[in-house]
């Protein structure tokens, strides 16, 4: 029996405001795993906040940094990775996330999605963004989990899906 099998990462994708960060934090606690926020690493790397990166360097620069961060984190093992909502817009991000990860897509009622501090959500009509992104989230996801109920329910659903 081999002892060096690698524990798959748990990757959360979904619309901005769907609760990826909150679910990642709760899952990290429940499973005793390290939680990584992709946007935090991008912001550290750029030395600016996410809205500043968009305002000063543009979305292309942000997406490049995002792909770099996902490439690094995707090689790791056993982490819980909360991604930015737009990571699905680059097809090359899929193998990076999927190589050692199980990808869960969180869904949440459009009316419940906050837009504060989110340049993409503020610049775009959310319903349109959601419609445009839906097929992309589907393509990336190994499973879809509703985050319309209590946080604990979402966490429990993901835990059971891992068994
Ligand atoms: C983005 C979502 C944001 C952040 C950036 C771009 C998007 O992350 O990565 O502002 O394109 O949907 P959240 O999903 O955490 O808001």
Q: Is the pLDDT of residue 2 over 80?
A: no
The continuous run of DSSP H or E covering 101 comes out as strand 101-107
pLDDT at residue 130, as a whole number: 94
**Tokens 């999927």, residue?**
98
Q: Cα(86) to centroid of ligand 1, in Å?
A: 6
Q: Cα(153) to centroid of ligand 1, in Å?
A: 24
Helix (H, G, I), strand (E, B) or coil at 43: helix
pLDDT at residue 88, as a whole number: 98
b (16+ CB within 10 A) / e for 1-34: eeeeeeebbbbbbbbbbbbbbbbbbbbbeebebe
Q: Is the pLDDT of residue 74 over 80?
A: yes
Q: How many whole angstroms separate alpha carbon 9 and alpha carbon 46?
A: 25
For atom 7 of ligand 1, the residue with the nearest CA is 86
Q: Cα(4) to centroid of ligand 1, in Å?
A: 35
Q: Mean pLDDT score of the chain, rounded to an integer?
A: 95
In a mutational test of the pocket of ligand 1, which residue from 44, 50, 54 has the highest number of ligand atoms less than 8 Å from its CB?
50
pLDDT at residue 123, as a whole number: 86
pLDDT at residue 63, as a whole number: 98
DSSP conformation class of 112: G
CATH of domain 12-162: 3.40.50.300
pLDDT at residue 137, as a whole number: 98
Average pLDDT over residues 132-146: 98
pLDDT at residue 143, as a whole number: 97
For atom 5 of ligand 1, the residue with the nearest CA is 84
**Tokens 């737009």, residue?**
86
* Ligand 1 pocket, CB under 6 A: 16, 20, 39, 50, 84-86, 118-120
For atom 10 of ligand 1, the residue with the nearest CA is 118
Q: 43-67, pLDDT tens digit by residue?
A: 999 999 999 999 999 999 999 999 9
Q: Cα(100) to centroid of ligand 1, in Å?
A: 22
Half-sphere exposure of 103 (CA within 13 A, CB side): 23
Q: 151-163, pLDDT tens digit by residue?
A: 999 999 999 999 8
Q: Is the pLDDT of residue 4 over 70?
A: no
Domain chopping of the chain, boundaries: 12-162
Q: Cα(11) to centroid of ligand 1, in Å?
A: 15
> What ipTM was estimated for this complex?
0.97
Q: What percent of the chain has pLDDT over 90?
A: 87
Residue 22 neighbours by CB under 8 Å, 6+ apart: 151
């Amino acid at each position: 029996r081999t002892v060096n099998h690698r524990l798959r990462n748990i990757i959360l994708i979904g619309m901005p405001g769907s609760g990826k960060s909150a679910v990642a934090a709760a899952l990290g606690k429940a499973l005793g795993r390290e939680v990584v926020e992709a946007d935090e690493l991008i912001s550290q790397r750029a030395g600016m906040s996410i809205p500043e990166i968009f305002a000063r360097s543009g979305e292309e620069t942000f997406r490049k940094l995002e792909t770099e961060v996902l490439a690094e984190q995707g090689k790791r093992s056993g982490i819980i990775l909360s991604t930015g909502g737009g990571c699905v817009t680059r097809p090359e991000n899929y193998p990076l996330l999927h190589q050692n990860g199980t990808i869960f897509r969180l869904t949440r009622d459009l009316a419940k999605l906050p837009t504060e501090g989110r340049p993409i959500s503020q610049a775009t009509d959310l319903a349109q963004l959601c419609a445009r992104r839906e097929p992309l989230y589907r393509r990336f996801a190994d499973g879809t989990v509703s985050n319309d109920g209590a946080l604990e329910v979402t966490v429990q659903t993901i835990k059971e899906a891992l068994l």
